Structure 1
Amino acid sequence: MCGIAGYIGPTRLSEPRLAACQALMRSRGPDAFGRVQRVTPDGRQVHLLHSRLAILDLDPRANQPFAAEGGLLSYNGEIYNYLELRETLKQDGEAPRGSGDTAVLAELLARQGAAALERCEGMFAFAWLAADGTLLLGRDRFGEKPLYLLRDDDDGLFFGSEPKFLFALAGRRPPVNLQQLRRYLVNGYKSLYKSGETFFEGLSELPAGHVATVGRGGRLDSRPFWRPAFGPENPDMTYDEAVAGARERLIRSVELRLRADVPVAFCLSGGIDSNALIGAAKRELGYEVHGFTIVNSDSRYEERDMVEAAVREHDLRHTPIPLETDAFLPNLRELVRQHDAPVYTITYYAQWRLMVAVAEAGYKVSVSGTGADELFSGYFDHHNAYLAAMAAQDPQRHAEALEDWQAEVAPIVRNPFLQDPDYFIRRPYARDHIYLDAERFAGFLAQPFFEPFAETSFTETLLRNRMANELFAESVPVILHEDDLNAMSVSVENRSPFLDSALFDWCQSIPTRHLVRNGRAKAVLRDAARGLAPDALLDNPRKVGFNAPILDYLDVAETGVREELLADSPVFEIVRREEIAKLIEAAELPNSQSKFLFNFVNAKIFLEEFAA
């Protein structure tokens, strides 16, 4: 829920800047607006702004900034276990005001400070101004809710949910970070969260799972309140125990994330993830689910039969949203303006249309399956990494897994590197499949660019380390960024039940040998969802995921489209125009080139909107 923004520093901000910021915050929270100004004991000026999307405790008493114990809270997100936390607070003293989570978080911070966050299950970004003038900033474990930071020349600090809020408060927009733009063009979305940079110079994000205290002179002391623990695996855990533990924790996570004083919608695909969540809600928890699906006409990505099977078996209320290709370029320009960044993948152009439909149906909350692939193993390269792990651990199991791979995976995998089952056995550090064709795309640029693939070492097993990097540095941060901006642009909050700390901890204890079975990745989740989702869907080896080639949206044979793509633009100071002309002459583009062309179009729009 909500949008937050603020400032701490030596200068009191002007009314026009505050008003401009507040006007921009409307889509994130149209239900109530609030702002306060304070002076700390050491003379620093503090401004806190808030726009509310009312989801829990709809009464105005929960409006923010929220006062408790002499402190003030400006908060975006949900503390899902607030009922349990309220009871512990009640036992320790007076119960928090109201019936929602805002008062609970404020009381926890007032009584315990940052230590209280270890007990909070939820997604959040907040600013807490304590009674003594200390400003505490915090962000949830997985980074579901954003918190941007920007320094001023006089050591003031601006913070908020979206870059545009900070720019309005600062009265300036920093220069575009051209290095990040080149990174996006050449290496793609998986490179964007490895450097800590954003698309604007000097703009950063508070890392996920961190809190920061703003001290004298604007000094920011940031530290983690949570460190993800990767292992040790439980070698004695049986497969059935892994399945039962995952099912129990997943259902509990869904139960927590259904807590709302407004109806909740579900994103529905033909895949395992969304159907496991819907099955848990419908069959275990008795929730009347309304599912929303983007319908794709491309045969490579079409999953209509699986969606229809899910709708029948779950007996769902269902709203299909046809893939719209009309007005693609003007719509994309609107979305780039909203994101203050290029759109990271074409999937999230389509997902934006889905969020629009959810909002038009009257919902304020949606639920999606973000994180399942990274917790349970869901990508094609996970098969290759699993084969490498079994080759090292259990030669007999490796032989069986290789036979399954040849029967189930080899016929459908398209990435040329991943068509080799020994890819990671022969070259355990090979990552050519991720930055596919990057060398060629670098040649499209006016200036040389090369940045090798890099990853963090979380754990020794290659498969588990890849999954951890995808969860914390590659895939999930991108998904959460796009989910949040798309949903909040139409005043919808997106929830991700797979990003639950208890479920995460359980998954790290599951032995690697259980992750893939019979040539099926995500084996534990498939069986954990048995009885919740249709068997035909759970037994489907094909990973679809929503996608669409850019040429489905852009008819480059049309003169007007070609002229717009090649028209004078700041992007041609970075990208060689003749290379784009060659690219759009092709009748069909391989997947990597289709992605590059989409990134180019976004980079072009972004520079035209923000480089001036």
Structure 2
Amino acid sequence: MCGIAGYVGNAPPRAQAIDSALSLMRRRGPDIQRAKAYEFPDCHHVVLLHARLRIIDLDSRADQPFNVANSAIVYNGELYNYREIRAQLKSAGHQFISESDTEVMSRAISHWGTQAFDKFEGMWSLARLDLSTGAILLSRDRFGEKPLYILRQKHGFYFGSEIKFLLALSGISPDLDWSQLSRYLVNGYKSLYKQPATFYSNVEEFPAASFAEAKTDGLSLPVKFWSPAYAPDARMSFNEAVEEIRLQLIRAVELRLRSDVPVAFCMSGGVDSIALISIAQKISNSAIHGFTAVNSDERYDEWPLVEETVQQLELSHTAIPTDTSGFLDGLRTLVSYHDAPVYTISYYAHWLLQQQISKHGYRVSISGTGADELFSGYYDHHLLYMNAVQDDEKLLNESIRNWRSYIKPVVRNPFLQDPRAFIDNPNMRDHIFLNSHEMQEYLTTPWHEPFTEHCYTPSLLRNRMMNELFHEAVPAILHEDDLNAMYYSVENRSPFLDRCLFEFSMRIPDRHLVRDGKAKIILREAVRGLAPTSVINNRRKVGFNAPILHFLNHRDPHVRETLLDDSIIFQHVRRDRIESLLDEDELPNSKSKFLFYFISAKFFVEAHS
């Protein structure tokens, strides 16, 4: 929806710094950029900045900072259930001056205090200033869909939707966090969100599902307003689970279709995105438009399933061939905007997808982020499922037979070849940071970090899924989704990241999650009759992948010069090892990934050193 930034303390930023930050915020909010400074006793200053992308209530009356109920709020995101909360507040006597979700959010906090966050279904990062006391409230949504960063100084702190906003306001050039860069190079993006670190040593990410208050004595410790929990209902049947997930998913999509501007769908050939677009086609009165990045690598081609879905559902559709021309220049631009290395090459393709969504006049896109982590969609989940059902000999043997028939033939990870892997060794996690020992050899100084995970539940399968959702894959995807979309002034929405949908999924017994060798079986059956049968029955997991050498000609002297020229990155990465990669005709998957990590990291440190 927007971009926010601000300052709280006794040394407010100068007008030039505020103007610089507002200029950088324009992509997140092209319609209007505004700032407001507030002064309170004891030399206490607050500055609120906002750039608006108008999605709900397109009138200027809903622009921010938004003043109501003796408060001022800047807010990035969407409150999907704003109509229902508005009705409750009107019944309690509140009178509204706009049709915006922003006003609903601010009045809800005024009415219920921080307990309002428990009522919100949406995505947000916000700062709300109490105009009578000067106290400010920060908060971020349950799943961390909307970003919020903090930069602390002795005289106060800065906050913002993007790190560049903090740097512009503060005038600070922070040191890079080389441990985080090494973590990325060796272990990949799934290692980056196990702690609240960023690629800058003194910039922190505000935690999801939390709020914190700031007065004259600084920012308090964040307080959790929601925590996930696995509480299976042993009596729940498979059919009951399917039916309720169907209802919850329809409701989640319906809420996320609320918009005063057109909505587009990111569409692959997988059941995740097609489930959403199939539901939308059934319940929406508007034409549904899907956008697909077409993969040039036949190993990952899903086009037949996309084409069948488009024809069967009679969708509007735009296919976007992956343009590899100008890859290095494009990646450099994207890295600079992300204030971080781009995590995988698929997010470069996603950036091109969002460009086309914007060019077609859309301001909202919907994606399938979170389905794998909610319904068990990864190959290791099959083996973790064996651990969950090991006491049911009949179900275990049937599951092993199905795994050997349908899953093992397509699994390449050497640690996932034994169906009893997690029965015999429940603590085995070597499959996650695969090839990290090989990646270490590319660094000038060996770097190693033991694998860690949070403990949510004794269920091995659910604990892995929740770690992926809150500390590994999903936070990284949300980071990339947000920045890629906002670069083109598009808001990305994720229906699978719905509180009620999540909480019900946490009541489904593990035994229902895999059936007949099919992962995500609950989701598949929930959209049977809505989505094409061929998509529902397709076991193959693809995703968008492409070798780095499809995007650049490593024999081109200019490419080699760009990648091997003098750079601070070579204080940490061995130049000779990169040169040897560029000398190879073909690169295995692990080396292809590392070469992309290296290029992305090189561009990042050059942009910010």
> Which category describes the TM-score, using the shorter chain as reference length?
over 0.9
Work out whether residues 68 and 110 of structure 1, in 8 Å CA contact, stay in contact via their aligned partners in 2. no
Residues 432-581 of structure 1 aligned to structure 2 (within 5 Å): 432-581=430-579
Partner SS state of residue 51, structure 2: strand
Q: Secondary structure at the match of 2:221?
A: strand
Q: Aligned equivalents of 1:120 and 1:105: distance in 2?
A: 8
**Paired amino acid for 1:226:** W
Percent of aligned positions that are identical? 52
Give per-residue Cα distances to partners, 1:167-205, cap 9 Å, x unaligned: 000011211111100000001001000122100011011
Give, as a single letter, the amino acid of the residue that structure 2 aligns with 1:239. Answer: F
Residue matched to 2:97: 97
Question: C-alpha separation between the residues in 2 aligned to 1:459 and 1:556?
Answer: 47
Match of 1:334 in 2: 333
Aligned pairs for 1:78-477 within 5 A: 78-131=78-131, 132-154=133-155, 156-231=156-231, 233-391=232-390, 393-477=391-475
After superposition, the C-alpha distances for 1:250-297 in whole angstroms (9 at most, x for unaligned) are 000000000000000001100001111011111134442000000001
Alpha-carbon distance in 2 for matches of 1:419, 1:593:
22
Distance in 2 between residues matched to 1:286 and 1:303, nearest whole Å: 28
For the residue of structure 2 that corresponds to 1:370, the secondary structure is: coil
The residue that corresponds to 1:4 in the other structure is 4
C-alpha distance in 2 between matches for 1:414 and 1:42: 63
User: Comparing 478-487 with 565-574, which one deviates more in the overlay?
Assistant: 565-574
- The amino acid across from 2:80 in the alignment is Y
Structure 2: any 5+ residue segments left out of the alignment? Answer: none
Q: Which amino acid aligns with 1:388?
A: N
CA distance in 1, matches of 2:565, 2:386: 48
Which residue of structure 2 aligns with residue 43 of structure 1? 43
Q: For 1:123-143, what per-residue CA distance to the aligned partner results, in whole angstroms no more than 9, with x for missing partners?
A: 000000013211000000000
Cα distance in 1 between the residues matched to 2:480 and 2:599: 17
Distance 1:286 1:247 in 2: 20
- Opposite residue 580 of structure 1, the aligned amino acid is I
> Is the contact between residue 214 and residue 221 of structure 1 (CA under 8 Å) also seen in structure 2?
no
- Within 2, Cα distance between the matches of 1:319 and 1:235? 44
Distance 1:504 1:432 in 2: 28
Query: Per-residue deviation at 1:42?
Result: 4.1
Structure 1 moving runs of 4+ over 6 Å: none
- Counterpart for residue 13 of structure 1: 13
Aligned residue identity for 1:8: V
SS of equivalent residue, structure 1 residue 477 = helix
Any conservation in 2 of the 1:374–1:468 contact (CA below 8 Å)? yes
Worse-superposed segment, 284-293 or 454-463: 284-293
Give 1:220 deviation, angstroms: 2.4
* Local SS of the residue matching 1:333: helix
Q: The residue matched to 2:111 in structure 1 has which SS?
A: helix
State how far apart, in whole Å, the 2-side matches of 1:366 and 1:450 are.
38
Secondary structure class of the residue paired with 2:410: coil
- Cα separation, 2, equivalents of 1:424 and 1:589: 31
Report if aligned partners of 1:444, 1:576 keep a CA contact under 8 Å in 2. Answer: yes
Q: Distance in 2 between matches of 1:603 and 1:33?
A: 31
1:381-425 alpha-carbon deviations (Å, 9 max, x no partner): 10111112212x312100000000011101111212112222212
Partner SS state of residue 372, structure 2: helix
Q: RMSD across aligned C-alpha pairs, in angstroms?
A: 1.0
Q: What is the letter of the counterpart of residue 383 of structure 1? A: H
Please say if residues 148 and 206 of structure 2, whose CA atoms lie closer than 8 Å, have aligned partners that are also in contact. Answer: yes
Distance in 1 (CA, whole Å) between partners of 2:330 and 2:154 is 36
| TM-score, length of structure 2 as denominator length | 0.99
Q: Contact conserved, 2:134 with 2:215, CA < 8 A, in 1?
A: no
Asked whether the equivalents of residues 281 and 287 of structure 1 are also in contact (C-alpha less than 8 Å), the reply is no
SS of structure 2 residue aligned to 1:456: coil
Instruction: Report the alpha carbon displacement of residue 221 of structure 1 after superposing the two structures with TM.
Output: 2.6
How far apart in 2 are the matches of 1:153 and 1:344? 33
**Bigger Cα displacement from structure 2, 38-47 vs 315-324:** 38-47
Q: CA–CA distance in 1 between the matches of 2:154 and 2:603?
A: 29
**Per-residue Cα deviation, 1:301-349 (whole angstroms, up to 9, x for no partner):** 1101011011011110000000111111010000001101000111100
Q: Matches of 1:12 and 1:298 in 2, distance apart?
A: 52
In terms of mean alpha carbon deviation, does 45-54 or 443-452 score higher?
Answer: 443-452
Query: 1:101-156 deviations in whole A, cap 9, x for unaligned?
Result: 011011112222211111010000000001321100000000000000001232x1
SS in 2 for 1:300: helix
Distance 1:238 1:285 in 2: 30
* Deviation, structure 1 residue 75: 0.4
Q: Is the 8 A contact 1:152 1:170 kept in 2?
A: no
Aligned to 2:471, what secondary structure does the other structure show?
Answer: helix
**The 10-residue stretch of structure 1 (437-446 or 362-371) with the greater mean CA deviation from structure 2:** 437-446
Contact 2:564/2:575 (<8 A) preserved: yes
Give the counterpart letter for 1:216 in structure 2: T
Contact 2:254/2:283 (<8 A) preserved: no
Deviation at 1:549, TM superposition (A): 1.1
Q: Does 1:585 align with 2:583?
A: yes
What residue identity is the alignment partner of 1:130?
D
Distance 2:47 2:307 in 1: 51
How far apart in 2 are the matches of 1:570 and 1:505? 46
In structure 1, stretches of 5+ residues that fail to align are: none
For residues 96 and 435 of structure 1, what CA distance do their matches in structure 2 show?
Answer: 52
Number of matched pairs: 608
Take 2:592 and 2:527, find their aligned partners in 1: how far apart are those partners? 34
